[in-house]
Structure 1
Amino acid sequence: MGDLLANKTILVMGVANRRSIAWGCAQVMQEQGANLIYTYQNERLKKGLLKLTGDEASLLECDVADDNSIAQAFSEIKTRYGKIDGIVHAIAYAPKAELEGEITNATRAGFQTALDVSAYSLIAVSKVAMELELLNDPASLVTLTYMGSTRAIPSYNTMGIAKAALESSVRYLARDLGKFGVRVNAISAGAIKTLAVTGIKGHSDLLEISKQRTVDQEAVTIREVGGTCAFLMSDLATGVVGDVIYVDKGVHLI
């Protein structure tokens, strides 16, 4: 175990299962000495998360589409832990029909859902954390994005637009929260076979093409993304603000 994150308490939002990028981040951060708190959306997801962590006391329910749920969860965190040192926001969702065909097939309702859950939720979470004075100085917020924000990836469609909004949100939040010692950044992870990716039509082809375009023809792993997350959560990264860091083994270069 390292000590890069010793004495730091970090909230991880978005672990769905052991394949989740958020879980890779959690594993590396814990190995570096962090004390972790987890949120889950509902009871079904809680069961899977509990199997991974084995610690029910560190789990709190939080539905980021509900402002009252965020407020309640963060108030409970403040009561239990006082101030914390960081938040990993690894939450995104779009209805399955939005992730196939052409962008003109997008629906108003599906588009709104994707933008709400995948982009606005970062602002909503940050707002409550600041109102409650939950974050230490320094503290770090890290979210997860994908290069479909800047390139028209087949079938990614509405989610790509949501990720573009998320990356823009990172820049505005970084500007506004910096004066409080809170830095905000995003990690643009390569294509990894997560639960979210399997919802995209043609995901197998996407994963294979991405693998072929890495510099070593080996897919990036959740632990490699986790290593960058641990760095961004650490005090070594206090100069990194409002950035999108690619962890995709060079796929975005080609």
Structure 2
Amino acid sequence: MAIQLLAGKRGVIFGALDDQSLAWKIADVCHQMGAKFTLTNAPVALRMGALQELAAGIGAEVIPADATSIEDLENLFTKSEEILGGKIDFVLHAIGMSVNVRKKKDYTNLNHDWMQKTFDISAISFHKMCQVLYKGDHMAEWGSILGLSYIAAQRVFPDYGEMAESKALLESFARSFGYHFGEKNHVRVNTVSQSPTMTTAGKGIPGFTEFFGYGDNMSPLGNAPAEDCANFCATMFSDLTRYVTMQNLYHDGGFSNMGMNPKLLE
């Protein structure tokens, strides 16, 4: 039986689509560690994915919500408090989508209407989420909010398109709201920059399989597996990390501090 690190904690998890998604793994680990939470995704994602299967397996309720809609978010958090029986202790934002990347548009020839949609879904939704939580006073004292990011926010990965800027914006929102939430009720806000991971979204990026191998060879510990990311996120939701806030935390086997690994030359 897993350590009951999150016993008594209430949460909301965004973005689980299928058993290959990080949010699915995180939900599974949080359940094993004793947390109770609601699950949410956009209505279109609910039709495409298998979220109801996850919900049935862990006894969680699913509340459909478009993360770009303030009205949907207000309904989500109000209903979650009612279902869970109190204020929310943790929230996971695991949302990212780029039509430009899906359509394999080169960075120097992006569709800017699609770019704005990318920013709204992948980054501005985080600000909207935090704003609704803040104004509605939905977060319990010493709660934890996490967004999933990627090192492309700091470094150039050409095939990642405008998702790189989206992740940089996400990290900036986390820092800024981290200040406001900290002053309000000691809630911490962070982002986790995860290794390349064989998720449904990741595998849709051109050249991802090759880059996965590159990241694995570059990192002294290798790419961090999804389940270890889930354990790390659960720790960030727990009371053991009460004074960690406004940080972008690399969970990447050391990749972020490497310049060159001789293994790449072999």
TM bracket (short chain): over 0.9
Q: Which residue of 2 aligns with 1:168?
A: 172
Deviation at 1:117, TM superposition (A): 0.8
The answer to whether residue 95 in structure 2 is matched with residue 116 in structure 1 is: no
Matched positions, count: 253
Q: Which residue of 2 aligns with 1:183?
A: 188
Q: Which residue of 2 aligns with 1:205?
A: 210
Deviation at 1:83, TM superposition (A): 0.9
Contact kept? 1:10, 1:84, Cα under 8 Å = yes
Q: Deviations over 1:120-170 (max 9, x none)?
A: 111111111122221100100011000000000131120001000111111
Q: Specify every segment of 5 or more residues in structure 2 that has no aligned partner in the other structure, as ranges.
A: 259-266
In the alignment, residue 15 of structure 2 is paired with which amino acid?
G
SS at match of 1:4: coil
Correspondence for 2:91 among 80, 87, 95: 87
Deviation at 1:97, TM superposition (A): 4.2
Deviation at 1:79, TM superposition (A): 2.6
The answer to whether residue 143 in structure 2 is matched with residue 139 in structure 1 is: yes
Q: In terms of mean alpha carbon deviation, does 11-20 or 78-87 score higher? A: 78-87
CA RMSD of superposed structures (Å) = 1.8
1-structure distance, mates of 2:45, 2:231 = 28
Contact kept? 1:98, 1:158, Cα under 8 Å = no
2-structure distance, mates of 1:147, 1:44 = 25
SS at match of 1:80: helix
Contact kept? 1:23, 1:222, Cα under 8 Å = no
Q: Which residue of 2 aligns with 1:74?
A: 77
Deviation at 1:64, TM superposition (A): 0.7
2-structure distance, mates of 1:96, 1:160 = 12
Q: Deviations over 1:216-242 (max 9, x none)?
A: 4x4321111111101110111111010
Contact kept? 1:98, 1:110, Cα under 8 Å = no
Q: Which residue of 2 aligns with 1:234?
A: 238
Q: Which residue of 1 aligns with 2:264?
A: none
Deviation at 1:73, TM superposition (A): 1.6
2-structure distance, mates of 1:62, 1:187 = 23
1-structure distance, mates of 2:101, 2:255 = 27
1-structure distance, mates of 2:212, 2:80 = 37
Contact kept? 1:99, 1:159, Cα under 8 Å = no
Q: Which residue of 2 aligns with 1:59?
A: 62
SS at match of 2:145: strand
Deviation at 1:98, TM superposition (A): 6.5
When residues 159 and 115 of structure 1 are mapped into structure 2, their CA distance, relative to the original with a 3 A threshold, is same
In the alignment, residue 36 of structure 2 is paired with which amino acid?
N
- Identity over the aligned pairs, expressed in percent? 26
Q: Which residue of 1 aligns with 2:20?
A: 19
Deviation at 1:44, TM superposition (A): 5.2
TM-score, normalization by structure 2: 0.89
Deviation at 1:43, TM superposition (A): 5.7
Q: Specify every segment of 5 or more residues in structure 1 that has no aligned partner in the other structure, as ranges.
A: none
